[in-house]
Amino acid sequence: MSSRKSSARSRSAAPDPALPPLVIDDAASERWDESAELLVVGFGGAGACAAIQARELGLDVLVIDRFHGGGATAISGGVFYSGGGTHIQREAGVDDSVDEMVKYLSMETQGVVSDELLREFCEGSADTLRWLERYGVPFEASLCPFKTSYPLDKYYLYYSGNEGLAPFKEKAKPAPRGHRAKGKGLPGASFYDPLRDSALRLGARTMTETRVTRLITDRDGAVVGVEAQRLEGTWARVHQELHKRGIQIVPYNPGLANKLREQCFEIEKTRSKTIRLRGTKGVVLAAGGFVYNRAMIDEHAPAYRKGMPLGTPADNGSGILLGQSVGGDIDRMGRVSAWRFINPPMAFAHGMIVNKQGERYINEMRYGAAIGEAMVDQNEGTALLIIDQHLKDLAREQSRPGEAQWFQRAPALLNLWFNSRRGETIEDLARLIKVPPDALRATLDAYNQVAESQQSDEFGKTPDTMRAMRRGPYYAIDCSIYSKRFPCPTLTLGGLVVDEQSGLVKREDGSTVKGLYAAGRTAVGICSRQYVSGLSIADCVFSGRRAARHAAG
């Protein structure tokens, strides 16, 4: 799935293609509209942490954002993956160690970063949590007692990955490491807002409604600044309001959200002025991923094209394309996380998922991104959830208010009402969903046998998480990536290759681009092989701070 080459097709088709770099002779003699020691492109989680770290070290910082800051972090679940014995874990009575955290994450990351970097990340994890708290991010030691994709508002520490499931639990002692920022519902703002406020309080300057369009280099190829298109006055305020409204209504009216987004783009094209900004110690690209650049998705990860973009319109690949424009290498561009969460309700996870051949292919209790990976990469994007009447009734009960978050209950109920096919026998159901009846019968018989035994099945699913389904009626819910009634959120994990010690962007020959850093989902990082909740935000914090430290010398 790795893709290392760029193409003219993706570059020309992208909503915001990066222009070729502007090469100048002498940065000191050029006219600049603004200057700072460190320019940070993108004011999301990675950009905010880069700005805070840089200000801690005394750098003058200017943060540039196409919209008004926040990025995907502000609309996320606000989960920070941390372990190795954090004070939150200890307060909750959880025993964890750096070694066990390394063992688990090594299975998830599968060599996407070096062993040395992974250990550095884990060894610093508990201190990083304290660092976030120092800047106002609220955490709490309330341990969720059951497995879920996202806990109720009374729980803020939970198993956010596959830690308690086979084969992970056999190789690493399980521990809950999902530290959720305290807040109602999806508290991405509870995580992001304190960081933004801290960056501003420490003296970081910001320039919003400003779209970076190309890098500026000297004759030796060192990045010395950026060129951007900036909105001011009334048009900046209109642009901000349209973007804000678009983000708010995406889950309810994606068509209208897209129209508002197009209006933002039109304002940018017709009402912006060109400015040039200098960064004397470097530029940090922290502009998100590329899930909203459908041309790049078509090129690098076409199997995920029908997934629902997860992020903001700022995740348009512009940061990656800017890095490529000066020779930056890319990797893991085919890695996309497809979130096929079916729990809660737990009753769904006690059923079985099959492909077009009527065969199971994963432990249905696995984390949603793992289900999504197996669904898309190995089973043509197909996932058909099979349950019986008992599990359907139980799913309704588990989808009542107070049993799960509203954003978990709503899709579960909608799928029960409008996205389920019914068959009195399993053969009837097989014909309705167009899978071989004999194969589905054999799959169900094997599932029932394990469910009534004392042994785990071939996927590591234990009998206590299975339900023998020996009587109809049976139901099938289409969970496939192309299901129109059960959208599958997707986000990109690949990006610019960076030097692991500095965060400097690397060329294909292994050399680094002087003065240019990348962080967060603009760069290849710890979660670029596999996603578990909280790991992307943790990587944003880690990589943003790393870039700032190196730029400070």
Q: What pLDDT does 14 receive? A: 35
The stretch 505-529 carries a mean pLDDT of 98
Cα dihedral 45, 50, 53, 55 sign:
negative
The stretch 521-536 carries a mean pLDDT of 97
Say whether 197 sits in a helix, a strand or coil. helix
Q: What is the DSSP letter of 337?
A: E
Encode pLDDT of 67-100 as tens digits: 999 999 999 999 999 999 999 999 999 999 999 9
Query: Can you tell me which residue has the tokens 């994709």?
Result: 149
**Any alpha helices (H) in 174-317, and if so which ranges?**
188-201, 233-249, 254-271, 294-300
Report the distance separating Cα 363 and Cα 375, nearest Å: 12
Which positions ≥6 away from 463 have C-beta within 8 Å?
450, 451, 452, 453, 454, 455, 456
Instruction: For 488, list phi and psi in degrees, rounded to 5.
Output: -115, 105
Encode pLDDT of 152-199 as tens digits: 999 999 999 999 999 999 999 999 999 999 987 668 999 999 999 999
Q: What is the DSSP letter of 317?
A: S
Query: Can you tell me which residue has the tokens 């250990």?
Result: 119
Q: What ranges do the domains of the chain cover?
A: 8-69+188-231+272-337+491-551, 79-180, 340-478
Q: What is the DSSP letter of 420?
A: E
Q: Do domains 8-69+188-231+272-337+491-551 and 340-478 have the same CATH topology?
A: no
Encode pLDDT of 291-330 as tens digits: 999 999 999 999 999 999 999 999 999 999 999 999 999 9
Q: What pLDDT does 16 receive? A: 60
- Give the other-Cβ count within 10 Å of 200's Cβ: 17
Q: What pLDDT does 1 receive? A: 39
Kindly state the tokens that stand for 20.
């070729």
The stretch 199-222 carries a mean pLDDT of 97
Report the distance separating Cα 113 and Cα 164, nearest Å: 23
Give the DSSP H or E segment for 182: none
- Residue 16's alpha-carbon distances to 28, 291, 293, 497, 512, in angstroms, are 29, 13, 9, 21, 25
Share of the chain residues as helix, strand and coil, in percent rounded to the nearest 5: 40, 20, 45
Rounded to the nearest 10°, the torsion over CA 98, 99, 103, 105 is 10
Beta carbons of 475 and 386 less than 8 angstroms apart: yes
- Residue 148's alpha-carbon distances to 157, 343, 471, in angstroms, are 11, 6, 28
Beta carbons of 26 and 4 less than 8 angstroms apart: no
Which positions ≥6 away from 479 have C-beta within 8 Å?
340, 342, 353, 375, 383, 384, 385, 486, 488
Encode pLDDT of 252-286 as tens digits: 788 898 899 899 999 999 999 999 999 999 999 99
Quote the pTM value.
0.94
Report the distance separating Cα 145 and Cα 158, nearest Å: 8
Query: Can you tell me which residue has the tokens 């496939």?
Result: 480
> Residue 326: is it exposed, middle or buried by C-beta count within 10 angstroms (0-12/13-18/19+)?
buried
**Any alpha helices (H) in 60-141, and if so which ranges?**
71-74, 87-91, 98-109, 115-123, 125-134
Give the DSSP H or E segment for 55: helix 45-56
Angle between helices 254-271 and 233-249 (to 10 degrees): 160
Say which CATH superfamily domain 8-69+188-231+272-337+491-551 falls into.
FAD/NAD(P)-binding domain (3.50.50.60)
The stretch 375-402 carries a mean pLDDT of 97
| Residue at 404: amino acid letter | A
| Residue at 104: amino acid letter | Y
Kindly state the tokens that stand for 186.
């999806």
Report the distance separating Cα 71 and Cα 512, nearest Å: 27
Q: What pLDDT does 2 receive? A: 40
Report the distance separating Cα 451 and Cα 447, nearest Å: 6
Q: What pLDDT does 250 receive? A: 80
Q: What is the DSSP letter of 525?
A: -
In this predicted structure, the answer to whether residue 13 has a pLDDT above a threshold of 70 is no
Mean pLDDT of the chain: 94
In terms of CATH architecture, what is 340-478?
Alpha-Beta Complex (3.90)
Q: Quick one: how many helices (H) and strands (E) in the chain? A: 20, 21
Q: What pLDDT does 20 receive? A: 95
Report the distance separating Cα 274 and Cα 278, nearest Å: 14
Nearest residue to 149 via CA among 539, 532, 536, 479: 532
Beta carbons of 342 and 368 less than 8 angstroms apart: yes
Q: What pLDDT does 185 receive? A: 62
Kindly state the tokens that stand for 124.
């610093």
- Give the other-Cβ count within 10 Å of 407's Cβ: 12
Strands (E) in 28-100, as ranges, are: 34-41, 61-64, 79-81
